[in-house]
Structure 1
Amino acid sequence: MKYRFTKDLTTTQTQTFHAKLYDSLEFLKLSNDEVIHSILKAIQENPLLEVDFDQYGMLPLDETYENVSQKPNLKTHLYYQLHTSDEFYSDKISSYIIEALDERGFFSEDTEETCKLLGVNKEEFLKHLSFIQTFDPLGVAAFNSIDSLIIQSKGKGHLLAAQILAECNEELLLKKYSLIAKKLDKKLEQITKELSFIQTLNPYPCTAFYTARDETKVPELKIEVENQQIMISPIRYYNVYYNDVYTDLLKTDKVIKKYFNEAKTIIANLDKRNATLLLIANELVTTQQGYFRYGDELVACTQKEVADRLGVNQSTVSRATMNKYYEFNNEVFALSDLFVAATESGTSSDGVKKALQEIIQQEDKTKPFRDDELVEELKKYNLQVSRRTVSKYRSSMGIPITGKRKKK
């Protein structure tokens, strides 16, 4: 396997504080759009910093700022509520939750993995997650849209609505309202009243806010396969360097020296960020080389395994791959997609999903498999998973429940 390495980054726009550029760990987790916007702001304040854009045609500085999203920033909104709260909280746990929210404002990371990463027990983590879920907009930091509706219902005092959503999801999808009333031992009028309330809720309450993933996903790396050789190339968009016009004043002018030290720190952190990203991408591609070379399924690979092999902290791997993208076969993918959790039996979740898709495509449409039956079908593929895992994977793949797949 051969590689081509250079020190570059990619770009779109977002709002952030360029002070983060002076902290290498904070700098590492910034997406490329956050990095470029921070650098553009730093350049306006530091005469020793210069940037050249390449042939890809970056927007001019003034136009860049004009195109920054005018929506309020979700994370800034949440941090304000966090820092003005009277509640006692762990800044490490709370900040991780806020930073990990996806483009819909949901916390979609694996809870067990997150607890291991943070070094906290599950009870403590869920306590902080529940704390963040009380913030505005109500429903933020939910696991998914249904969980968001449940949180909103509880927050507005509609406990029956929350119960319907939590316990009668399948009946709700099939519009079997009488069955819901019977199951919860309630009158049909009570159920229909709560259903009317649910319809007033927004399953995606964070849509009015700007998140770090609202902008175009621009790849920082390009992965190519030529004659079975895999090549990883950083995509060049711009180059940051020193302006040497004031070099003669470094020894005599304290202000110029301060500017120089700041510029030196920013460029050093930029180089370190890119080198770390390449190092981790190299390890991931090596692990998943069958996927890139032959289209094989992704193998089980966790952040901890990569961190252990590289001799770095797991949080470094997490930061370096957060909101980073690569190009492969003219498509853009999240680098984090190359991490694949294993099932309890050690089976790759990617393999389970592919098998599930194949089984459901071939099932009898007049009598589709229930989730427990899918568990048995997967055993024929030598895949051992639980019913809960099947249900989770099926939902994540957008495959409807049994009743919705049934055709007359």
Structure 2
Amino acid sequence: MNALHHDAIAGYKNSKLRKRILFNVKQDNGKMTTALSFWVFDADGFPARWHCGSGWSDEPYVGWMHVISDVVTWTAYLAIPVMLTLFVRKRNDVVFPKIFWLFCAFIVSCGTVHLIEAIIFWWPVYRLSAVIKVFTALVSFATAIAMIRILPVAVTLPGLAAVNKQLKREIQTRKETEAELAKMNQDLESFVSIASHDLQEPLRNIISYADLLKQDLGDNLSTDAHQDLAFITSATGRMQRLINDLLTFSRTSRHDATFCPTPLDECVNEALEILHQRIQDSNCTIERTPLPELAVDATLLVQLYQNLISNAIKFTDHENSVIQITAKQVDGVWVMSVCDNGIGIKEEFAEQIFSPFKRLHGMSEYEGTGIGLAICQKVVEHHDGRIWVTSQPGKGSQFHFTLTPDLSASTTDE
């Protein structure tokens, strides 16, 4: 009894000392502590758990089993919400993420209860323990209510087996779709073969027989007959050009692009060589700046420049026509341009002109099939770039296109 009495007196003195220290801190800096915190951390009247009976001193290992178990449990409770937090932050597809945060708060509060139980063996903060347990009870109740509310929705979520089954169905559907697309591509190849041979052969025959008819009849042809034969020849020629453009458009769409470092100047040179006669006949001036070397499909880029330059020639039929072929870097991306000082186009048609068969002028004004710019767009799409036009009526047009920056082989100083 004397030992217990001595321990109780010592505990009482220690509690009085702590109370005076806390009181002094409060007096020195009232902004750092409040009456509530003073009450919560005050251990006055509560002995440390080691002094709550003779059993702790007779069998101290029991107390240490309590302390170690509570500390280990607190450590585990602290690790679990950390891992859950990392999981929720990394996965954007987590269902009911708010429940995870509430569950983390529940686990942390439970772990704190165990930590306080271990601390009480030396520092009897029973009031703090009570506050933590009240908070844990509230969080536990809120978590249970939240889980009850989401349970009807959660039980309807598909399980892993159902998801795998659905994924297998989607894979099978995709394979079937790919097989259908492969068959459609084969049919398209057959159509291209027919268009390039069977459809063009009758057109060539019509032109040939029209020429023979003019030769056979000679001067016996009336003026109306001459006009009719000229109309037949002209219409047949337009049909041939349309078929050829359709074939080019089809080949461009199905072209398997092969990218390799290529100076774009070489592509422009080849395009200008193809259009040499038209450039001479139109008396237009070609102005160029150095172009970069990029990883591109050279065949497609020649087609692209050929169509853009041909389009510029067509719509700049005056004495002072100038076509500029340039390139510059904008925010690290190369922007290639083909500009003219021709008739220009209205802003509302800037998107439409890249659609197949879209013509802004009649055949009597400007020749063409309306497929050239659609081919240009296909070529740029093969390079994961984009093409657009800026223009004002009467002030010319500026066609710009970009290629994917990752395809750049090297750059040239502007």
TM category, shorter:
under 0.3
RCO comparison, higher one (Cα < 8 Å, 6+): 1
When normalised by structure 2's length, the TM-score is: 0.18
- Greater helix fraction, Structure 1 or Structure 2: 2
When normalised by structure 1's length, the TM-score is: 0.18
